[in-house]
Structure 1
Amino acid sequence: MNGTADVVVIGGGVLGAATAFELAGRGLSTVLLERTLPGRQGSGTTAGNLHIQAIHSRRPGQAVAVDNARLVPLQRATSDRWNTVAERLGRDVQIVRSGGFTVAETDDDLAELHRKAVWEHEAGIPTEVLDGDAARAAMPQLGDSVLGATWCPWDGYANSLLATPGFVAGAKAKGARVYTNSPVTALAPSGAGWRVESTVGTFSAGAVVNAAGPWIQSVAALAGARLRMAPLAIQMLETVRAPRFLPHLVQHIGIGLSVKQVLSGSVVIGGGWPAGDLHLGGTTPVLDASVAGNLADAVRVVPDVATLKLARAWTGPLAATPDEMPVIGEVPGLPGLFVEGGTYSFTFAPLWAETMADLIQGTTPAHDVADLGPARLLAAASEEVTV
């Protein structure tokens, strides 16, 4: 098969699917290429949280703290866009605005809550700082170790198993051509655009969006771009179903922890505990130590979790960057080749889709993302990069 398109999007996770949906909705001829099936990797294994207030500073094993001050205005913006996702797609992806508590268990973490509350108020995100007693009065399920919390009514989650297929279906309805089980094998400039070779055929396009998640680095390498990325695998836990007892999303500002009870009744525990060594071509193993550590955190913060049996644990890959920040923008020296991914791609998916479409069309995005571009990730010629 040979074809042409205005844009080829590589990667059918939630971010690539949302971008294809946005591009096709703007009338651009769009091809979406997915190496397996949409949402089978990071997008389908994530907790699906919508992080509207500031996220945790560090997950276990994370060396660099997230720049929450930089991300908060973007979280405010993506929250607005999630409000219209179901209507735009014409289907329910189980977006639940349960509200959320971000908790602190140390004095340092408590100080971080107060700092982030200032950034959130400046961005227009409604958060309230509570001491431990007030937090437990508002949510009695919180444990005695909680020294304080911030409450945000906009926090919540979407069903990660429905969101990506929803964006894919929406993209198709707008005219996008979607090809599954179609890994990209070659990527090179061609004339004023790009030549994209895949197992399903070759496409010529004016622009290419590399939204390949943990494969971002290897896809970029096909075009000669040497990006410093740090893909890794994290793991998730889920309990058996139980009568409803946990009304809100609970996150931890200082460590990798999120706890919520989803619509089915099971409790999903996430937050970034590491899995075994990442195997992009196979299955990444669950680490028993991480299961134990994550459960211990969850039970300490929400003690009632201890009454539930663990039903399953699974792993999923992330497209992490060395500075733990998102990446979005055009690759320097390779006009028409764009990259998007990195930190909290699920939360940012509708905003990044809109931003990417603006960049491709030469329109100034609503939010400046120049500092989040891939230039900072380009490796020097003498620098060793493992792909």
Structure 2
Amino acid sequence: MSERASWDVAVIGAGIIGAACAWRLAQRGLRTVVLEQASPAGGSTGKSAAGVRAQFTTETNILLSKFSIEEYAGMPDSGYRAGGYLLLVPDAQWPAHQQGVTLQHRLGVPTEVLTPEEAQVHAGFVPDGLGGCTFCATDGHVDAHGLTMAYVQRARKAGAQFRLDTAVIGIRHAGGVWQLDTRARSVEAPLIVNASGAWSGEVGALAGLEIPVRPARRMVYATGPLHLPRPLPMIFDLGSGVWLRSEGERLILGRADAADVGWREGLNWTWLEPTLEAAMARFPWLEAATLDRQASWWGYYEVTPDHQAIVGRMPGAEGWLNACGFSGHGVMHAAAVARVIAQEAVGETPFIDVTPLRYERFAERPQGLTDIQV
């Protein structure tokens, strides 16, 4: 059974990106249906550490975060807390990082430049090997699940429909229309938005498209309750890759394992030791903390070859829009990306230039990291 011509756009995925896109598309008067294989925020979104920061070194990423954070700050149900981000920057990275701060200031982001000694006001740490530190008070974190549900509610109110527990198992294009097959029924629409997170590469493959997104497992370890004099902001040690922040009376912390890619499941406890070793070298006071295994969790990043998102129309695939591959930046960028996707869907020029994130870049230049990833 097929719903012919019932929809203007079909969104695959109801994580924070898909839910936000659905709202903005429906706001534009587009008949929007969302197909989600499980439940809203049931994949990577709900397992995110939910940090939001505008401390990037490229204009596109800075603006995507800046406008998203502004939207979250105005949503009472977002759980946004401006606890700040403190970045600890090694000597070798400091000159380029300072250039990024100059760009952030030009774009209206209130980043402070601190010496390692000045940064101790936020948390005690060993300053060895650091060229400097930066702190932005408007960075922080959100309630990723609650925020996604808020977007779902807004999308539904605007007329979007959500088909949950509905996996897409086949996609084909004919006569200017995409047909998406599920086990229950087929859905047809001239526009499709691939917002399926770590599954985006597989969704593209259903349509015969090569979309370079693959899953990467990430650990979030939680300590037992601590008696800290004040909550810690999100702190990211760029040299070791360790990050940590307060979560209630606990700390949560992690460190990416570049080799942990693919559909691996479960908490990787063997990664705990190297994570703690790197963390305690910078934060020796962590030695007194206990670990709460029950409060720890894991989830998937959706990574691309250059660890940057893929946003916008797919070349050679009429009516296909990508909003995927965020490599840990999905919660940070969701609000602004949704506006970009809605503008592209109706033929408008996006309010942020997302040229650096378009699919075409993979054929135009060698891939390499272009921004920090936590």
Same fold by TM-score, threshold 0.5 exceeded?
yes
| 1:8 partner letter | A
Q: Distance in 1 between matches of 2:115 and 2:96?
A: 13
% identical aligned pairs: 26
TM-score relative to the length of structure 2: 0.87
Corresponding residue to 1:319 among 289, 302, 308: 302
Q: Which residue of 2 aligns with 1:49?
A: 51
Q: Distance in 2 between matches of 1:277 and 1:230?
A: 8
Q: Distance in 2 between matches of 1:376 and 1:363?
A: 21
CA contact (8 A) 1:234 1:275 kept: no
Of 113-122 and 27-36, the range deviating more from structure 2: 113-122
Q: Offset at 1:275?
A: 7.7
| 2:48 partner letter | T
- Shift in alpha-carbon separation, 1:362–1:211, aligned structure 2, 3 A: same
1:31-180, aligned counterparts within 5 Å?
Answer: 31-54=33-56, 68=57, 70=58, 72-85=59-72, 87=74, 91-104=76-89, 106-136=90-120, 138-145=121-128, 147=130, 148-180=132-164
CA contact (8 A) 1:193 1:205 kept: yes
Of 320-329 and 110-119, the range deviating more from structure 2: 110-119
Q: Distance in 1 between matches of 2:265 and 2:178?
A: 33
Corresponding residue to 1:308 among 289, 294, 309: 289
SS at match of 2:303: coil
State whether structure 2 residue 33 is matched by structure 1 residue 19. no
Q: Distance in 2 between matches of 1:234 and 1:92?
A: 26
TM-score relative to the length of structure 1: 0.84
SS at match of 1:317: strand
1:277-316, aligned counterparts within 5 Å?
Answer: 278-279=262-263, 284-312=265-293, 313-316=296-299
Q: Offset at 1:248?
A: 1.8
Q: Which residue of 2 aligns with 1:373?
A: 358
SS at match of 2:292: strand
1:183-194, aligned counterparts within 5 Å?
Answer: 183-194=167-178
1:185-264, aligned counterparts within 5 Å?
Answer: 185-244=169-228, 245-262=230-247, 264=248
- The CA deviation string for residues 58-77 of structure 1, in whole angstroms up to 9 with x for no partner, is xxxxxxxxxx3x2x443234
Q: Distance in 1 between matches of 2:170 and 2:234?
A: 42
Q: Distance in 1 between matches of 2:105 and 2:73?
A: 27
CA contact (8 A) 1:98 1:248 kept: yes
RMSD: 2.3
Q: Distance in 2 between matches of 1:31 and 1:86?
A: 27
CA contact (8 A) 1:235 1:315 kept: yes
Q: Which residue of 2 aligns with 1:382?
A: none
CA contact (8 A) 1:22 1:354 kept: yes
Aligned residues: 356
Q: Distance in 2 between matches of 1:125 and 1:242?
A: 32
Q: Which residue of 2 aligns with 1:62?
A: none
- The CA deviation string for residues 265-296 of structure 1, in whole angstroms up to 9 with x for no partner, is 221213533585532xxx61333342222223
Which ranges of structure 1 fall in alignment gaps of 5 or more residues? 55-67, 380-387
Of 122-131 and 354-363, the range deviating more from structure 2: 122-131
SS at match of 2:100: helix
CA contact (8 A) 2:119 2:133 kept: yes
SS at match of 2:79: coil
